[in-house]
Amino acid sequence: MRMPAVFAALPVLAAFEMGAAPPAHAATADIAGCSLTAISSDRDPNGLNIRAGPSADSEVIGRIPPPREIGGEEFAGEVSITGSRDGWFRIDDAWMPDYIWDDYKDVFDGVGWVSGRHLYAWLEALELRSGPSLSASIVADFTKPNPTGKPDETVDLRIRGFHACLGNWVEVDVIWSGAVLRGWTYGTCPSQVTTCGGGHIPNPE
């Protein structure tokens, strides 16, 4: 089932009866649970590999096609993320959006893994933190002048890669004044045609 392209990321709560298998979105001892949407940045003509496990050695069980042009606009595949492990992200759905005609084509339905290196979204909360909590120290505050003194509009709010996720937080790379900064943020925007709200989003805690 395709998830909406734009929504506020919500924490994953896993609850199941003793003896029953955990749902596909549940967190386990070595998999952090989360819930968010991301966009594929892989332009390989063969598409972005979906693997059976969180490893480059795992079997390829599907592919997300490269970006396609529709009505003069280019749109990339999108994925629904349910967890992460070691830089890999567990997904339960993938689709190719057509924002021109408001249509979508499912390309994968099941449990698979994709590399966070090939995922992106847009930054909503204008800061990065050292951990997945508002009590964690601030790594970068994009509302303040950057280290080079350049105007604030030099901030590139496109996330350049995902590293991990936890609840409604995600660890990402963001480019600021030519430097790649790594930190945790919340409420990322996966829309390819508009902003999801801009600026700071509601408190995640």
79 bridge partner residues? 38, 94
Q: What is the pLDDT of residues 12-61, one digit of tens each?
A: 333 323 333 344 455 666 899 999 999 999 999 999 999 999 999 999 99
Domains and their CATH numbers in the chain: 32-119 (2.30.30.40), 127-186 (no CATH)
Q: What is the pLDDT of residues 59-97, one digit of tens each?
A: 999 999 998 887 777 889 999 999 999 999 999 999 998
